[in-house]
């Protein structure tokens, strides 16, 4: 049986991009749990239904899946 996952819509800022998409949380976990995991295999944050905007040019691309290096994340906002 697969563990149940909840989707959380977020906006993520890196030095060069604004990313809007969905993060999948395991049941009873929090966004901070995923961001604070210190495990080499967890250095990248998977995001689905992503919209990536270049902060310099304003160009936007959409992707079904991206993986963001957590070391580049400056700010994460949960969508209300």
Q: What is the pLDDT of residues 46-79, one digit of tens each?
A: 999 999 999 999 999 999 999 999 999 999 999 8
Tell me, what's the pLDDT at 2? Answer: 57
3-state secondary structure of 57: coil
Q: What is the pLDDT of residues 8-19, one digit of tens each?
A: 999 999 999 999
Tell me, what's the pLDDT at 29? Answer: 74
CA 48, chain centre distance (Å): 8
CA 21, chain centre distance (Å): 7
Say if CB 15 and CB 74 are below 8 A apart. Answer: yes
| pLDDT score of 23 more than 70 | yes
Task: Give the CB-side neighbour count of residue 35, counting CA atoms within 13 A.
Answer: 13
Model-level pTM greater than 0.75?
Answer: yes
């Amino acid at each position: 049986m697969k563990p149940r996952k909840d989707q959380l819509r977020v906006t993520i800022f890196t030095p060069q991009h604004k990313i809007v998409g969905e993060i999948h949380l395991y049941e009873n976990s929090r966004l901070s749990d995923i961001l604070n995991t210190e495990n080499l295999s967890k250095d990248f944050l998977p995001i689905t239904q992503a919209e990536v905007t270049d902060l310099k040019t304003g160009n936007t691309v959409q992707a079904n899946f991206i993986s963001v290096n957590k070391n580049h994340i400056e700010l994460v906002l949960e969508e209300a």
